[in-house]
Amino acid sequence: MLIKEITLPRNLLQVSQATLPDQQITVLLGPNGSGKSTLLAYLATHLPECAYLPQQNQSYDALSVDDLLTLGQQRATSPLTIDIVTELELAPLLAKQVNQLSGGQQQRVWIAFILLQNAPVILLDEPLNGLDLRYQQRLLQLLPQLKTTILMVVHDLNYAYRVADWIWLVSAATLNEGQPSNIMTTTDLTATFATPVSLHQTVDGAVAFWI
Amino acid sequence: MKYLGGGLISAILLISGLTLGLPLGHMWPTTQIFWQLRVPRLIFALIGGGMLAVSAVIFQTTLRNRYVDGGMLGLASGVELGNALIAVIFAPATPWRVLTGALWAIVWLLILRASMLRILRQPLQLLLGGLGVAMLLNAITTLITSNQGFVGKSLANVTLQDTWLLAIFCVVGIIIWQIAGPTLTYFALPQIHVGQLGIDEKRLSLLWQLGAALFIGAVTAVLGSTFFVGLIIAQVVAQLMTKPAQNRLVVTGLLGAVMLSGSDLLAHSLHYPLELPTGAVLMLLTAPLLLVFWKRGHDVN
């Protein structure tokens, strides 16, 4: 998918065109304040078919997890082949009120709410917030199985490298995109985050970023 | 919930029995007093109390703000100002005050939706903005009505016409909400999610708020402005039963009916033959419920 003419307010970012590969995972990287969340919110209003998870989510009234997930499913034109409730281990939480769960549990519920919509494009703003290692790993395994177009903001470079098929790197009002191996170079990452980033590769080819 | 509903219905029956049959001034009520004064007054208090409380649930839910009600938003004050203007300019319309009150509430709702409700999104901002509007309208009403011989608001002067008009608006509001369907749950979600689910939130909130405005306008025309009352009753029920707003409407209405009919019974009988302002007694009785609200809120936090 080709997205043209992205112009964010306050001159945060101006892009003539950017590629969002179909049915692949694109990770949006960039320093704080570079406009990542603003970019996702912008795309959410310009891609009507998308399902967008902002950073902050809350229920404003008594709402059970089951009811919330049912609302999400209502949007799906075809059911998901993957059992999201099982994948994210939400069955024990279904009868509970959303606003009485812990932060990490709520994040899992909101992620499930978005995924159950089975939208052709999914925008996730820092979905790892509050998730412990177990559920970070679950999400890492789950997202590629969805076979849908995903754009997500992630701060963990190692996670980003593992999950991403494509990288958007925003910095200084510009967006660089490409394969992770081409974009996530130590030189570019060090310059983007103004912090020395080194890369270590094991004998079996696994890559680890250190700061 | 069964116990809560059963307890409230028992309370309504008890209050109704006392209101209709209580001998005041060492006299049993005559047939004329019973049918022309006590029955309309009781029905108004029961229906009006329910409408007052239910309207608060609607405003709190659709505005995603648990600190508002029709009084706190300035709607009730707008109704009082509008009806005071009518009384000064065209006094023969006064017997239709419930009708004009409901219409004024619609006018003020549309004004608020085009202005304050669009701009003020933060809960505290909306609360302060609403109170500011209410105080301003109250001040204008006071200036208009001073030295005009207006008496304090009370259910003592409820007429049969007030009561059947109130009942009509109660039915109209319920019909509007039937058109809206079981959709209050959507307002539990952040606005962005509602839009993504393909729901036209603007239209939906208008439908719900129109019914709530009719309710608050019709009741305020007779009872006068009440601050915090609907807010507290709605929140006490929300704290007592963790159900979605749509499922709380009936119980909230029942508690509202108990509170207003109980307040009116006290206003009528405590200092007989003097009538106390029902709205003032209602606010006095509602204040202790704040403790339930705070205590439960504290426990949850």
Q: What is the pLDDT of residues B84-133, one digit of tens each?
A: 999 989 989 999 999 999 999 999 999 999 998 888 777 788 888 888 99
> Which domains, ranges and CATH numbers included, belong to chain B?
41-296 (1.10.3470.10)
User: Between these two residues, A32 and B294, which has the higher pLDDT value?
Assistant: A32
Q: Do B189 and A59 touch (CB under 8 A)?
A: yes
**Mean pLDDT calculated for residue range B223-231:** 87
Whether residue B51 is predicted with pLDDT greater than 70 in this model: the reply is: yes
Which residues 6+ apart lie within 8 Å of B292 measured at CB?
B236, B239, B240
Whether residue A179 is predicted with pLDDT greater than 50 in this model: the reply is: yes
**Mean pLDDT calculated for residue range B53-61:** 96
- From its phi and psi, is residue B237 left (phi > 0), alpha (psi between -120 and 50) or beta? alpha
Q: Do B192 and A50 touch (CB under 8 A)?
A: no
Position B300 confidence tier, pLDDT thresholds 50, 70, 90: very low
Which residues 6+ apart lie within 8 Å of B139 measured at CB?
none
What does the angle CA B72 – CA B74 – CA B75 come to, to the nearest 5 degrees?
110
- From residue B59, alpha-carbon distances to B20, B54, B64, B212, B245 in Å are 33, 9, 8, 7, 11
pLDDT at A142: 95
What does the angle CA B95 – CA B96 – CA B101 come to, to the nearest 5 degrees?
125
**Mean pLDDT calculated for residue range B127-155:** 82
Whether residue A35 is predicted with pLDDT greater than 60 in this model: the reply is: yes
Cis geometry, peptide bond prior to residue B273 (ω within 30 degrees of 0): yes
Q: What is the pairing mode between strands A25-29 and A166-171?
A: parallel
pLDDT at A206: 84
Position B152 confidence tier, pLDDT thresholds 50, 70, 90: low
Q: What is the pairing mode between strands A2-7 and A121-125?
A: unpaired
Q: What is the mean pLDDT of chain A?
A: 93
User: Between these two residues, B27 and B283, which has the higher pLDDT value?
Assistant: B283
pLDDT at A101: 96
**CB nearest A51 (choices: B186, B196, B245):** B196
Cβ of residue A51 closer than 8 Å to a chain B Cβ: yes
Position B151 confidence tier, pLDDT thresholds 50, 70, 90: low
**Residue B102 CA to its chain's centroid (Å):** 12
Amino acid in position A149 = T
Q: Do B185 and A71 touch (CB under 8 A)?
A: yes
Whole-angstrom Cα distance, residue A33 to residue A110?
A: 24
Exposed/middle/buried for A83, CB within 10 Å: 0-12, 13-18, 19+? Answer: exposed
Angle between helical axes of B160-180 and B201-223 (0-180°, round to 10): 170
Amino acid in position B31 = T
Q: Do B64 and A63 touch (CB under 8 A)?
A: no
- A18-27, B166-175, B263-272: the lowest-pLDDT one: B263-272
Q: Do B243 and A62 touch (CB under 8 A)?
A: yes
Cβ atoms of residues A121 and A148 within 8 Å: yes
What does the angle CA B36 – CA B96 – CA B255 come to, to the nearest 5 degrees?
65
Whole-angstrom Cα distance, residue B54 to residue B214?
A: 11
Q: What is the pairing mode between strands A198-201 and A207-210?
A: antiparallel
**CB nearest B188 (choices: A63, A74, A100):** A63
pLDDT at A172: 84
- The torsion angles phi and psi of B268, rounded to 5 degrees, stand at -80, -35
What does the angle CA A29 – CA A32 – CA A37 come to, to the nearest 5 degrees?
65
pLDDT at A80: 86
Side-chain half-sphere of B230: how many Cα atoms within 13 Å? Answer: 35
* Cα of B187 to nearest chain A Cα, Å: 7
Cβ of residue A16 closer than 8 Å to a chain B Cβ: no
* Cα of A202 to nearest chain B Cα, Å: 43
Whole-angstrom Cα distance, residue B14 to residue B8?
A: 10
**Mean pLDDT calculated for residue range B79-83:** 94
Cβ atoms of residues B101 and B224 within 8 Å: no
**CB nearest A63 (choices: B185, B197, B300):** B185
Encoded tokens for A164: 């991403």
Position B301 confidence tier, pLDDT thresholds 50, 70, 90: very low
**CB nearest B244 (choices: A52, A58, A63):** A63
Cβ atoms of residues B71 and B226 within 8 Å: yes
pLDDT at B250: 95
Q: Do B197 and A68 touch (CB under 8 A)?
A: no
Concatenating the DSSP letter of every residue in A43-86 gives HHHH-TTEEEE-S----SS--BHHHHHHHHHHH-SS--SS-HHH
Whole-angstrom Cα distance, residue B33 to residue B39?
A: 8
SS3 A29: strand
Q: Do A71 and B186 touch (CB under 8 A)?
A: yes
Whether residue B259 is predicted with pLDDT greater than 60 in this model: the reply is: yes
Whole-angstrom Cα distance, residue B260 to residue B193?
A: 38
**Residue B55 CA to its chain's centroid (Å):** 6
Which residues 6+ apart lie within 8 Å of B258 measured at CB?
B8, B11, B12, B15, B49
Whole-angstrom Cα distance, residue A28 to residue A128?
A: 13
Whether residue A171 is predicted with pLDDT greater than 70 in this model: the reply is: yes
Cβ atoms of residues A154 and A184 within 8 Å: no
Contacts of B184 in chain A (CB under 8 A): 61
* Cα of B190 to nearest chain A Cα, Å: 7
Whether residue B299 is predicted with pLDDT greater than 60 in this model: the reply is: no
Superfamily of domain covering A2-210? P-loop containing nucleotide triphosphate hydrolases (3.40.50.300)
pLDDT at B61: 96
Question: A37, A45, A61: which to substitute to probe chain B, counting the most B Cβ within 10 Å?
Answer: A61
Q: Percent of chain A having pLDDT more than 70?
A: 100
Cβ atoms of residues B264 and B45 within 8 Å: yes
